[in-house]
Amino acid sequence: LPMRKKESENDYRYFPDPDLPPIVLTADYLNEIQQEQNTLPIDVYLELRDKYQLSHADAELLTENKTFATYFTEAASLSVNQKDLSELLIQKIIPYIRTENLTLESLGDMNDIIIFVTFINNGRISKSMAYQHVFPEWILDISQNPEEIAFSKELLQSTNQDFLDPIIYEVINNHPDKASEYRKGRKGLLGFFMGKVMQKSGGKADPKVLQEKVVKALS
């Protein structure tokens, strides 16, 4: 048997407290409180993925460390190429600082990172050449001008690409069989000729200009 009946308000002697005013929670107030809350990792991940169009893997990696995500979003706000920025951070800089037990802040000014991203977008050097030959020296002191490093190593592509013409014809003449196959429809051989010319030019050829010149020479 039940020990007692369920009481009503009167049984508990409930009564209103005159010292407690009604509390009205407006939408603006609730929104203000929400904005004051700490951002959750899932919110950071979604912003990186949706706003900055990063891949799942890249957004997840940056979200692992709040500093990485904050650094990326601040740098991206400076109108830099976001894809190249994320690639530079994720593939080159973050592995480097982890190996050397450093922090992003210890590298130096964020603007120097922006300068490097701009450098690999100016068309004077291929990204692979910049990463392979310029980055290892630049990362030791990011205040260095990456273009000056590339210039000292004679890696910058000339604005005048006419120097490629004799190299292209030399490569074609050295491989007449492949040139004949290309003209018969094996268009995949274009990469072969471009690779040979790029090798002979020391990586100084502008890939877009080189492709146009090789196609014209083989036609």
CA distance 100 to 2: 71
Q: Per-residue pLDDT tens for 85-99?
A: 999 999 999 999 999
Please give the residue that has the higher pLDDT: either 145 or 80: 145
Please write the tens of the pLDDT for every residue from 117-162.
999 888 788 888 899 999 999 999 999 999 999 999 988 877 667 8
At 34 the pLDDT is 78
Is the four-CA dihedral 165, 167, 168, 174 of positive or negative sign?
positive
Written in H, E and C, the secondary structure of 72-126 is HHHHHCCCCCHHHHHHHHHHHHHHHHHHCCCCHHHHCCHHHHHHHHHHCCCCCCC
pLDDT at 80: 76
Residues 170-219 pLDDT 10s: 999 999 999 999 998 898 889 999 999 988 887 777 788 889 999 999 98
Q: What is the 3-state secondary structure (H, E, C) of 163-206?
A: HHHHHHHHHHHHCHHHHHHHHCCCHHHHHHHHHHHHHHCCCCCC
Domains by residue range for the chain, with CATH? 41-152 (no CATH), 161-218 (1.10.10)
Distance separating alpha carbons of residues 205 and 217, to the nearest angstrom = 16
As to burial, measured by CB atoms within 10 angstroms (0-12 exposed, 13-18 middle, 19+ buried), residue 156 is: middle
Query: Looking at residue 32, what is its pLDDT?
Result: 85
Torsional class of 53: left (φ above 0), alpha (ψ -120 to 50), beta (otherwise): left
Mean pLDDT over residues 46-69, rounded?
93
Task: Tell the residue number behind the tokens 């982890």, with chain if given.
Answer: 98
120 contacts 127 by C-beta, under 8 angstroms:
yes
Q: Residue 4's pLDDT is what?
A: 58
Q: Which residue has the tokens 């609730």?
A: 30
Predicted confidence at residue 214, as pLDDT, reads 92
pLDDT digits (tens, 9 = 90+) for 3-55: 555 555 555 556 666 777 778 889 988 888 877 777 888 999 999 999 999 99
